[in-house]
Structure formats: structure tokens, C-alpha cells
Amino acid sequence: MRIAVVGSGYVGLVTGACFADLGHDVVLVDNDDKKLEALNNGEVPIHEKFLPELLQRHRDGRIKFSGDLQAATRASEIVFIAVGTPPTESGDADMSYVESVAREISGAIDGYKVIVEKSTVPVYTNEWIRTIITRNGTNPELFEVASNPEFLREGSAVTDFLYPDRIVVGVDGERAAKMMREVYSPLTSGWYYGRAHAIPRPDKAQIPPRLIITSAQSAEIIKHASNAFLAMKISFVNAVASICESVGANVEQVCDGIGTDSRIGPRFLKPGIGYGGSCFPKDLLAFRAVAKEVGYDFRLLEEVIRINEEQRRRFLRKVRSVLWTLRGKRLGVLGLAFKGGTDDIRESPALLLVQELMREGCKICAYDPAAMDRAKEAISQVNCNGIEFAGDPYQAAKGADAVLILTEWEEFATLDLDELRKAVKYPIVLDGRNLYDPATMMAHGFSYYSVGRPPAIKQEAQLARVAKREHA
Ligand code: UDX
């Protein structure tokens, strides 16, 4: 099929590249000339596994980049809108980019087309898009609006797209439903998975995926409710982890016991320093705003947000309780991205903690496998005194009063512990992501503090008492 994808941000790029790999002809539209030039020159603006090879595979073939939205609309049967919907001051999503795309598309609808909202949007957006397009003079018979929420995680967005748990399409008319079925048929029929150059199947992916057709409003709610539920799962387990710390239980064992109940499931039950990223924090605020607007006081969401913020403060208290005073302390920080596998630092709990520690007077030496450039830029806007960046984890740990693990990079879970031990000034590790087994850390001579598990403290009886008191 001939598809236009509007917006070459994270969702748009991945969507466009994957549609091309499914055999569709894609025009990726953006109004940022610099971005288009970079894409045309073969640059890949985001750190995402398999994306460079998909773009390389289809550049100059099935995927083209363009600044001309009207021409792209005329040339396509389906237009996916994947532009940003940043939060406003009050938390609701700013829909002005979506609106301006709808307005511009309107002038180019010269035959039947399906306009699909892919951005995360509040309920009724599809109706607004329809209204704007009609208001600008398009015959309503010539188009339909569908909602096709994405469930892409950063770092695994390409495989999430090609091996999804489900595909949700919210659409009210049969003609548009048929076209959307066709768009995804390479996946739902299993055709893609038999191809020689298909992106490899991740463990546990069920193929072929199910396509769920719903009303447009239901699809919009599915997106908000899915993200809110996942964030709630994380906040829930973080709250349980805090109780585990108080009673001396081990949250890992608790999660094993909870997660094996098939009604609950083991995923998204990892405690830590809280969720971050460009989606959960923003989507929770947006869902809360939607609920408020329709007169529902969704206080559960407030609590999810509150627990998430408290989780970071709790970790900071833990650092303080272990190190006693913070001013002048040298900390080796491993991780700045909001999670492993990405260079994204938006709402990163790791970065927020680093900034807090800097305010407290700590000297930070940080390392992240992918997010350092972005972190440097973000920190330089606030304050760059007290932070330096290292070339590897051991350099970050050199001479440190303590090492803090703040992002769940695989690389940080397989460190050479003897080398780390040699690098530090004091063998203290505070792990905000529970990457290590406490007994292993102790065997390597570390005092090890994690989240929701009893600390493993070596020859620090005094410290143990203080830390225990703090945990309680
Ligand atoms: C999320 C959703 O998973 C995805 O479906 C949606 O389309 C976009 O938002 P993403 O933001 O890429 O994806 O990251 P995700 O892997 O969901 O992690 C979000 C945050 O939660 C990260 O900060 C991560 O560290 C944290 N997390 C995740 C936990 O603290 N514990 C967990 O068990 C899982």
C-alpha cells in the first residue's frame, strides 16, 4: 500500500521503517529540513536497535523522506499522523501539531483516504481530526479517521512493532477497517515471519499477532489505560519493595511469588528508582486530565505518580544514610538514560537523581553507554559544576566513595567486580535497579544496598545498624 507517515520523530521513524519492511511504499514527512537532510544522508537520529539497518535496507527504495505533506497525502492511500503531543502546563496533551497536520491534509484529499492517528492522544481526537478536515472543505465521504495506538518501548521499538502482542485499530467504518487490515496483513497472516530477511523474532513473541478492531474512542482509551496500568504495576511493586525493606523481606522472592500467578504475570514487576521516559509520566498526566474533564476523579493515578516520585526521594535518603554526609563525596554513577538500551534522558529518574546529588554538593563521575551527550547538554543548562563524564564504568568508579547504579543497562549487570573493587575508594554500591545478587557482591568485598532487599554489608556493623534503622 502507499502510506504517508507524518512526523519523523521516534514513533514516526520506527513506524515508517517497519511499514517499508512489510512491503509498503512509505513517504516519511517532516517539516524540519535539517532532519530530512540528515535522514537523506543516511544518519539515524535516534538510538534504536535494528532501525539503522531497516532505514539502510529501504532508503531510496520503499522509503522516501519529504517536506511536502500535501504531495505525500495525494500520493498515499493512508496517512498516519505521528507528530508530537507534548504536555501543557496543566498536564493535558498539546494537540496543536495534530490540528495543523489535519488542516494541511485537508487540501490534499483528492480521493478516498484513511487518516490514522498514531500519536498518543486524548479520547475524541479522532472526532476532532474529522471535524477539522471537514471544516477545511473536504467532502466527508472522501475520508475516514482511524485510531491505531502504538505500544512501542524505546530500545525494542522495532521488534515491538513487528512482533506485537496485539494490534489495536479503532475505526468506525468497514471500508477503513478493511484497509487497515490490509496494512497489517503481512503480520497477521504470518507472511512477514517466513521471510528470509525478517528482523529476528524475540523470545516469547507469539506469532501471528491478533488484530483487534474497536471503536475509535475505545482504541484511544486502550492506549491510555495500558500505559497507566503498566505504570501502576511499577508503582505497586515499588510500594511493596518499601514494605519489604521495613520488614526484612526480599522483594525479588515476593515478586516471584506474585508474578507466577498467571492473572498477574511477572513482567513490569521490577522495583527500582521509579519509571521515567517520554511516555509514562506524560501519559499518566494526560489520562488524569481526560478523566477530570469527563468528571471522574481518578485518584488512583495521583497515587501512582506520588509513589513514583517518592521512590526517587527514598533512594536519595538511602544514599545519605549510607554515606552520612553528601557534601564533597565522590560518587561513581552508572547510568543516565531513563532505562537501559536507549539514549533517551527524558524524565529520567537517573538524571533527576544526579541533579539532586549535585545540589547536595556531591562530585559525580558518570558513565552511560549511550546517553552521555544528551545528559551533558541537559546538565549544562542547569549547572555543570560537580560532574564529569567517564569513558567506561571503571573510570567512573575510580576513587569513588560509593558507586550508584541508576539505569538497568545489561552492561552494568556484567561488570568485572574485581576490577570495580580495585577502582573504588570505598567498596560501597547502591544499586537502584537490583542488577546484582547481594551475596555475590558481598563475596567480592562490597557493601551492597539495593531496592526492597536486605542490604549485604561487609564489616560495617555500625553502618548496618544505621542503614537498618533508615530502612525501617
Ligand atoms: C512505554 C510502554 O511500555 C510502551 O508500551 C509505550 O508505547 C511507551 O511507553 P518506554 O517508555 O519505552 O515504553 O519504556 P518501558 O520499557 O515501558 O519502561 C518505562 C520506565 O519504567 C523505565 O524508566 C523503566 O526503567 C521503568 N520500569 C519498567 C521499571 O521501573 N520496572 C519495570 O518492571 C519496568
What are 127-135's contacts with CB under 8 Å, separation 24+? Answer: 127/216, 128/95, 128/98, 128/99, 128/102, 129/81, 129/98, 129/102, 132/99, 132/102, 132/103, 132/106, 133/102, 133/103, 133/105, 133/106, 133/109
Select from 49, 118, 268, 282 the residue to mutate for testing ligand 1; criterion: most ligand atoms less than 8 Å from CB. 268
CA of 461 to the centre of ligand 1 (A): 37
User: Which helix (H) or strand (E) element contains residue 116?
Assistant: strand 113-117
Question: What is the number of the ligand 1 atom nearest to the C-alpha of 120?
Answer: 7
Please measure the distance between the N-terminal and C-terminal CA atoms of the chain and give it in whole angstroms.
60
- From first to last of its 472 residues, the chain has per-residue pLDDT tens of 999 999 999 999 999 999 999 999 999 999 999 999 999 999 998 889 999 999 999 988 999 999 999 999 999 999 999 998 887 887 777 889 999 999 999 989 999 999 999 987 777 889 999 999 999 999 999 999 999 999 999 889 999 999 999 999 999 999 999 999 999 999 999 999 999 999 999 998 999 999 999 999 999 999 999 999 999 999 999 999 999 999 999 999 999 999 999 999 999 999 999 999 989 998 899 899 889 989 999 999 999 999 999 999 999 999 999 999 999 999 999 999 999 988 999 999 999 999 999 999 999 999 999 999 999 999 887 766 789 999 999 999 999 999 999 999 999 999 999 999 999 999 999 999 999 999 999 999 999 999 999 999 876 555 555 555 555 5
Q: Quote the pLDDT of residue 429.
A: 98
Q: Quote the pLDDT of residue 87.
A: 78
Q: Considering 18, 255, 279, 365, which one is annotated as catalytic?
A: 279
CA–CA gap between residue 188 and residue 362 (Å, rounded): 53
CA–CA gap between residue 242 and residue 124 (Å, rounded): 39
CA–CA gap between residue 449 and residue 436 (Å, rounded): 10
Mean pLDDT over each residue of the chain, to the nearest integer: 93
User: For the whole model, what pTM was predicted?
Assistant: 0.91
Question: What is the number of the ligand 1 atom nearest to the C-alpha of 160?
Answer: 5
Contacts of 204 (CB under 8 A, 6+ apart): none
Select from 14, 240, 275, 314 the residue to mutate for testing ligand 1; criterion: most ligand atoms less than 8 Å from CB. 275
Instruction: Take atom 5 of ligand 1 and give the residue whose Cα is closest.
Output: 151
Contacts of 247 (CB under 8 A, 6+ apart): none
Instruction: Take atom 7 of ligand 1 and give the residue whose Cα is closest.
Output: 151
CA of 275 to the centre of ligand 1 (A): 7
Select from 234, 256, 285 the residue to mutate for testing ligand 1; criterion: most ligand atoms less than 8 Å from CB. 234
Instruction: Take atom 25 of ligand 1 and give the residue whose Cα is closest.
Output: 339
Instruction: Take atom 13 of ligand 1 and give the residue whose Cα is closest.
Output: 153
Contacts of 310 (CB under 8 A, 6+ apart): none
CA–CA gap between residue 209 and residue 207 (Å, rounded): 5
Residues at CB less than 6 angstroms from ligand 1 = 150-154, 227, 230, 234, 268-270, 272, 275-277, 279-280, 338-339, 408
Question: What is the number of the ligand 1 atom nearest to the C-alpha of 157?
Answer: 12
Q: Is residue 255 annotated as part of the catalytic site, yes or no?
A: no
8 Å CB contact between 204 and 34? no
φ, ψ for residue 272, nearest 5 deg: 180, -145
CA of 266 to the centre of ligand 1 (A): 14
CA of 242 to the centre of ligand 1 (A): 20
Tell me the percentage of the chain whose pLDDT exceeds 70.
Answer: 97
φ, ψ for residue 448, nearest 5 deg: -125, 125
CA of 82 to the centre of ligand 1 (A): 20
Instruction: Take atom 21 of ligand 1 and give the residue whose Cα is closest.
Output: 275
Select from 279, 285, 309 the residue to mutate for testing ligand 1; criterion: most ligand atoms less than 8 Å from CB. 279
Q: Which residues on neighbouring strands pair with residue 27, listed in sequence order?
A: 4, 64
Question: What is the number of the ligand 1 atom nearest to the C-alpha of 234?
Answer: 31
Q: List the 78-81 sheet strands across, edge first.
A: 63-66, 25-29, 2-6, 78-81, 113-117, 143-147, 166-170, 210-214
CA of 153 to the centre of ligand 1 (A): 7
